[in-house]
Amino acid sequence: MNYSFDEVKKQWINKLNNMAQGDTFNLYIDNPFCVHKCEYCVYTPYVTKVNSPIFKKYYSDFMPRELEKYKDIIGMRVPDSVYFGGGTAGLVDCKQMKKIFEQIPNFKNIKCKIYENHPNFLTKEKVDLMIEYGFKYISIGIQTFNEEILRKQNRMVPEYTELRELIKHAQDNGIVVNCDILPFIEDGNMKGLKQFEEDIKKMEELLSPDSITIYPKYQELMEPIDSEYDQSKATEIDEKNYDLIVNLRRSLKKISRRSKLYSISHENLVNLEREKIMECVRGNYYLIKIDKEKFEESKVYFSSSIPRQPATQNTLAIGGLLERKTYSYHGKGFCYYNNVDENFNIEYECGGN
């Protein structure tokens, strides 16, 4: 089933006029492009060069038109957060970033602004722009420090000394900096765990971000990755990954005991009792060196996947391209995907609620 834009707009106006206490309104701005496709990645980026014709058209024509269409809706209430994700949001240059920021109503008043970055494309100019616009949180995909694995996974090796300086500059100006690590990027076994422990050590020594998000590689936890996730079979699927999760959690506890800087943000997430493990097999884990309250504040928006969107979170997603369908929702109610073709024609497809 498809919706018309008028229907989508009517739904949002109705929702924003009738928000319950505690409800949040979040914007998600999609950046569908990557300059390479990493082997492990489950997202569906459009691979192209920076400033290729399609890249330019997306930022100079399509995105401004989309923002204009949603201007009245966004202007109804200052969003609680705005999240620039992808793909690789970090490919966008300062001029293009600024143009988007300026087009979003009340942008400077949005308390929680988050930008996803790629370590090879972050520059001092971009950090300065995020400081100027009051960003609260930036996230950088590191995945692993093992150069051989990075190359095998079709990923560029970053220059860590320069990156540390940029991270420090952001931190000195009040931005919470997160880095992502991807355990089991190659091996879903003890070899992968050893690499994970080495990666956390290197992260402490070389980059020292405020938080480290640990995303166990989804393909190792879900089988088969390309079939629909069937809730009724969850336990059966999860059983296969039991040992993997137990050992990852043990590693996290060990790291947290050893580390002088980092501790686990939510102890309950690394609980080792069998029942508790089965409750949350697919969770991410966070190691933090800032206090928990500051960490929580910087993460108002939690990206989530259908059908697990939080009931009080309403997310308006703008953008997407071909395989990259971004989705918007009102809590557990109205939900739709942006279906964008290569000519940037857009349809709003029912999200399955």
Write down the least CB distance from residue 93 to ligand SF4, Å.
17
Determine if residue 291 is left, alpha or beta; phi over 0 gives left, psi from -120 to 50 gives alpha, anything else beta: beta
Range in contact with ligand SF4 (rule: CB under 6 A) among 41-49, 246-254, 281-289, 324-332: 41-49
Residue 214 in contact with ligand SF4, rule: CB under 6 A: no
Q: Which does 180 bind (CB under 5 to 8 A by kind): ligand SAM, ligand SF4, none?
A: ligand SAM
List the one residue from 15, 118, 324, 330 that touches ligand SAM (CB under 6 A): 118
Q: Which of residues 135-154 bind ligand SAM (CB under 6 A)?
A: 141, 143
Which of these ranges, 37-45, 105-113, 227-235, 260-268, lies near ligand SAM under the rule CB under 6 A? 37-45
* Phi, psi (rounded to 5 degrees) for 80: -75, -30
Q: What is the footprint of ligand SAM within residues 277-296 (CB under 6 A)?
A: none
Binding partner of residue 103 among ligand SF4, ligand SAM, none, CB cut-off 5 to 8 Å per kind: none
Provide the minimum distance between the beta carbon of 4 and ligand SF4 in the complex, in angstroms, as a whole number.
Answer: 31
Q: Which does 183 bind (CB under 5 to 8 A by kind): ligand SAM, ligand SF4, none?
A: none
Q: Which does 218 bind (CB under 5 to 8 A by kind): ligand SF4, ligand SAM, none?
A: ligand SAM
- Contact predicate 185/149, CB 8 Å: yes
302 contact choice in ligand SAM, ligand SF4, none (CB below 5 to 8 Å, kind-dependent): none
Q: What is the dihedral of CA 38, 42, 48, 53, to 10 degrees?
A: -160
**The one among 32, 79, 119, 141 contacting ligand SF4 by CB under 6 A:** 141
Q: Would you mind telling me the total number of residues written for the chain in this entry?
A: 353
The answer to whether the CB of 85 falls within 8 A of the CB of 30 is yes
Contacting ligand SAM (CB under 6 A), which of 46, 215, 334, 337? 215
Binding map of ligand SF4 across residues 19-38, x = CB under 6 A, - = no contact: ---------------x--xx
Binding region for ligand SAM (CB under 6 A) out of 20-28, 41-49, 129-137, 191-199: 41-49
Quote the least distance from Cβ 31 to ligand SF4, whole Å.
9
Closer to ligand SF4 by Cβ: residue 96 or 153: 153
Nearest to ligand SF4 of 87, 192 (CB atom): 87
Nearer to ligand SF4, 81 or 88 (CB): 88
Question: Which residue in the set 87, 209, 319, 320 belongs to the binding site for ligand SF4 (CB under 6 A)?
Answer: 87
Among 16, 27, 29, 41, the residue binding ligand SF4 under the rule CB under 6 A is: 41
Tell me if 264 sits within 8 A of 212, measured CB to CB: no
Beta bridge partners of 321: 324
Q: Per residue, what are the HEC states of the chain?
A: CEECHHHHHHHHHHHHHCCCCCCEEEEEEEECEECCCCCCCCCCCEECCCCCHHHHHHHHHHHHHHHHHHHHHHHCCCCCEEEEEECCHHHCCHHHHHHHHHHCCCHHHCCEEEEEECCCCCCHHHHHHHHHCCCCEEEEEEECCCHHHHHHCCCCCCCHHHHHHHHHHHHHCCCEEEEEECCCCCCCCHHHHHHHHHHHHHHHHHHCCCEEEECCCHHHHCCCCCCCCCHHHHHHHHHCCHHHHHHHHHHHHHHHHHCCCCEECCHHHHCCCHHHHHHCCCCCEEEECCCHHHHHHCCCCCCCCCCCCCCCEEEEEECCECCECCEEEECCCCEEEEEECCCCCEEEEECCC
User: Is residue 325 a contact point for ligand SF4 (CB under 6 A)?
Assistant: no
State the residues that interact with ligand SF4 by CB under 6 A.
Answer: 34, 37-38, 41, 43, 45, 86-88, 118, 141
State the residues that interact with ligand SAM by CB under 6 A.
Answer: 40-43, 85-86, 88, 116, 118, 141, 143, 180, 182, 215, 217-219
